[in-house]
A = this chain, B = another copy of it.
């Protein structure tokens, strides 16, 4: 057995995995939402291998500031060191494996293990070992016993990501145009910072069901009918049933949701930043702000029109309802931890900042007026996938299948435009089967589907 692999993770072969989603027909085998062996394999082949969102640089302003995050179920310490660099370190002592940090966030000078007192620098280097010259007789090669660092840590626009796979492509390439557009979206009106306070809760659902949902404009009117009745949400204003704009990228990256028409964008293009700001102020509250000129560079000439939801594969959802990002951390086949990061422009005036935080506090999270009802649907969809006969039924990802065309726009940015559909969801599950079937990055690169073109 390979390093760290559990016997259970070997129960599916590549052919069986590929058959779990049939991109031709749109049918998904629901064992992907319930089988324990597939889940173990996900930890290895999706999470340890992919790029995982760690934190935004604004969360760690000073040396020693740290924030605990996860790569799959592996706890990592994200910490800024004295050189200003953000390191991602496995939170497990090299001696016996004890945790270095047990808080969620904090400030440290170094990381001292509470078991035997090994002391690690903010960059993970082992800097102190009690008894090194006596008990260890100087044998210990401290230079090889630093905390295990993520194989790569790279950032884009201040967002830091990490992977445990040293042969993973560079973050820039992994995100690709679509992922970068997604991150560009949140910076379209200025550089951002993360507001203190990550909402976290545990939901009884498979993490992929939560990802599937973020592309899904179809559920809004029905799932969120009560938020609409209560006056919290104006479904009519946000649905845009036939102004959808889906962007698909390498490795499973995708953006789904509405887009502005080229005509509308053209009008915006003609406006100065001041005019845009004025237009934003004139719009009803909770309307997304008109993007500034910088947006085009960040999102591309077509991407700038997207008003949808990016998912950075595998599990980072970006939303502008409250300028938030939601990380979906796997906790078993039927459990997911949801972490909500709230972003505000660094230079936001106090009232705007207040309004954005208030919107974020009320829309998502466990008490959020939208997410309450989402959770119910996700957990029930997951629960049913555990039944032998229900599991056999399959999930139907049929909407718009074979009915739309990938448009190649300016700068080669591609999109599928028109009706609400399930193009992004299909792309997500298709990519998932490819990630899961491939033993390593080389095989994944050799076997993964190119981004769809033509009719989809």
User: CB distance A92 to B390 under 8 Å?
Assistant: yes
A135 shortest CB reach to chain B, Å: 5
What separation, in Å, do the CA atoms of A219 and B112 have in the docked complex?
13
Mark each residue of chain A from 36 to 56: 1 if its CB lies under 8 Å from any CB of chain B, else 0. 110010011001100000000
List CB contacts (< 8 Å) of A36-92 with chain B.
Answer: 36-37, 40, 43-44, 47-48, 71-75, 90-92
Tell me which of B43, B145, B387, B399 contacts A135 (CB under 8 A): B399
Question: Is A267 on the interface with B (CB-CB < 8 A)?
Answer: no
Contacts of A212 in B (CB 8 A): 96
A112 to B377 alpha-carbon distance, docked (Å): 12
Which of the residues B3, B209, B221 comes within 8 Å of A96, measured between beta carbons?
Answer: B209
Residues of B within 8 A of A16 (CB): 1
Mask for A319-346, Cβ within 8 A of B = 1, else 0? 0000000000000000000000000000
A219 to B242, CA, bound (A): 65
Contact of A389 among B74, B93, B398 (CB under 8 A): B74
Taking a contact as CB atoms under 8 Å apart, the answer to whether B389 and A136 are in contact is no
Q: In the complex, how many angstroms separate the beta carbon of A456 from the nearest chain B beta carbon?
A: 13
Q: Complex Cα distance A119/B8, Å? A: 39
Does the CB pair B419–A134 fall under 8 Å? yes
Which A residues between 88 and 119 are near B, CB-CB below 8 angstroms?
A: 90-99, 102, 112-117
Interface: A392 (CB within 8 A): yes
In residues 204-237 of chain A, which contact B (Cβ within 8 Å)? 209, 212, 216, 218-219, 221-223
B residues within 8 A CB of A33? 97
Task: Report Cα–Cα, A48/B393, bound state, in Å.
Answer: 13
B389 touching A4 by the CB < 8 A rule?
yes
- Residues on the B chain within 8 Å of A7, using CB: 11-12, 35, 37
* Count of chain copies: 3
User: Across the interface, which residues of B come within 8 angstroms of A99, CB to CB?
Assistant: 380-381, 383-384
> Is A420 interfacial (CB 8 A cutoff)?
yes
A403 and B137 contact, Cβ closer than 8 Å, known pairs A73-B387, A218-B130? yes
Q: Does A31 contact B (CB under 8 A)?
A: yes
Q: Are A71 and B389 in contact (CB under 8 A)?
A: yes
Task: A139 to B399: give the CA distance in the assembly, Å.
Answer: 8
Asked if A131 is at the interface of the complex by the 8 Å CB criterion, the answer is yes
Chain A residues at the B interface, C-beta cutoff of 8 Å: 1, 3-8, 11-12, 16, 30-31, 33-37, 40, 43-44, 47-48, 71-75, 90-99, 102, 112-117, 130-131, 134-137, 139-140, 145, 148, 164, 209, 212, 216, 218-219, 221-223, 241-242, 373, 376-377, 380-381, 383-393, 395-396, 398-401, 403, 419-421
A-B contact pairs, 30 of them (CB 8 A): A1-B12, A4-B31, A6-B34, A6-B35, A7-B37, A8-B11, A8-B37, A33-B97, A73-B386, A75-B390, A91-B390, A93-B381, A95-B396, A96-B209, A96-B212, A96-B381, A96-B395, A96-B396, A97-B385, A98-B377, A114-B222, A114-B373, A114-B377, A115-B219, A130-B222, A131-B218, A131-B399, A135-B400, A136-B400, A164-B389
Top 7 A-B pairs ranked by shortest CB distance? A74-B387, A4-B392, A117-B222, A7-B11, A92-B384, A99-B380, A115-B377
Beyond A96-B396, A113-B222, A135-B218, 5 additional contacts (C-beta under 8 Å) are A5-B388, A72-B389, A92-B384, A115-B222, A137-B403
